[in-house]
Amino acid sequence: MPLPLYLLALAVFAMGTSEFMLAGLLPDIASDLDVTVGTAGTLTSGFAIGMIVGAPLVAALARTWPRRPALLGFVLVFAAAHAAGAVTTSFPLLFATRVVAALTNAGFLAVALTAAAGLVSPDRKGRALAVLLSGTTVATIAGVPGGSVLGAALGWRATFWAVAVLCLPAALGILKGVPAGRGEDEATGRPALRTELAQLTRPRLLLVMLLGALVNAATFGSLTFLAPVVTDSAGLGELWISVALVLFGAGSFVGVTAAGRLSDRSPGPVIAVGGPLLLIGWPALAVLADEPAALLTLVFVQGALSFALGSTLITRVLYEAAGAPTMAGSYATAALNVGAAVGPLVAAATLGTEAGILGPLWASGLLVTVALLIALPLLSVVTARRSTEVPR
């Protein structure tokens, strides 16, 4: 894999740390800003909504920009939004900074996904996506738990400052490592924006986007509210939240790495085997949440299965959107973040039910059930090969 791909992954690490870090910070944010934990959880949904809107909008605006300055600008604005969030005492303003950060994150990912696919041969998109998404999985292993520990020691604001600082070496890496010239598709011409947007009328593209969104909704729904499960259901101390996040991140790294080697040529087995196992895992986690050893083991397993299945489906989005070379990344980003927006909202709605803090785990199981009821009867359609040739 080319070096610029790993430099893009470094920036994704910084952004992934921000996107996931709230899982360990929500109780402190809620207490500091005098809101409920459920209300604080809307910060995750607000971030995701910003990415849903921002992915196609910013990608459309940036499709004529050279990639290096576009990526650099997105990272610097992302850093500034976190600096503003670190000093505010207003929850609405904090929410607004999350939306701004999300818009720039969406723009970055939309351009980066397209750039990553363009750095490798057409039949290695899955591998390239796995490298890029490894920035997110490493964030869940190191960045998010580190942020949780930093937040516990110095307060949640310190974590926001840390993300802002983390963006600086990522920006330097982009400046030094991403080619200054235009990509091949930029140099030789590209389809009109209307032609690229018309890809969204293709049923198979919409199908894989929907499936990716459902799986990601299940992932974010439980991950956002994992902290109270660890401390209340399992009876563990606050530092064990970081341990749980490390285990989830380690599992996700294993899952996305394994899937990266299979999603290009054998996506069917990943979906057919990983999907039912993921479905079993969420309710099992709810039932065994009061057993610390079982809880921590299943957190690792669910991280692996969630990212293996999710990254495979998002790879399918890139394949199905081959006719939209500058917008395909935004379609994949939108699919990921529709799930990231819906999941925490569905999970938060279950907190006031009899299921209590275990409600999000049951909700995740339901979301995966819906995904499998759609995917398994149409597995041959979901995994069908499509030419990667881009119409001119």
- Phi and psi at residue 89, in whole multiples of 5°? -115, 10
Q: Output the pLDDT for position 61.
A: 80
CA distance 360 to 9: 30
**Number of residues assigned to the chain:** 392
- Write down the pTM of the prediction: 0.73
Helical segments of the chain, H only: 3-21, 26-33, 37-62, 67-87, 91-118, 125-138, 144-154, 156-177, 184-188, 193-197, 203-224, 226-228, 239-260, 267-287, 292-320, 328-350, 359-375, 379-382
Residue type, 19: E
CA distance 167 to 170: 5
CA distance 375 to 355: 28
How far is Cα of residue 113 from the mean position of the Cα atoms in its chain?
A: 13
Q: Output the pLDDT for position 95.
A: 92
Averaged pLDDT, groups of 10, the chain, 392 residues long: 74 80 80 86 79 77 79 92 92 92 84 71 66 70 72 86 87 76 53 81 88 92 89 87 84 82 75 92 94 95 92 82 76 81 88 91 95 87 58 37
Q: Output the pLDDT for position 97.
A: 93
CA distance 147 to 151: 6
Q: How would you class 363 by CB atoms within 10 Å of its CB: exposed for 0-12, middle for 13-18, buried for 19 or more?
A: buried
Q: Are 204 and 320 in contact (CB under 8 A)?
A: yes
Other beta carbons less than 10 A from residue 179's beta carbon? 13
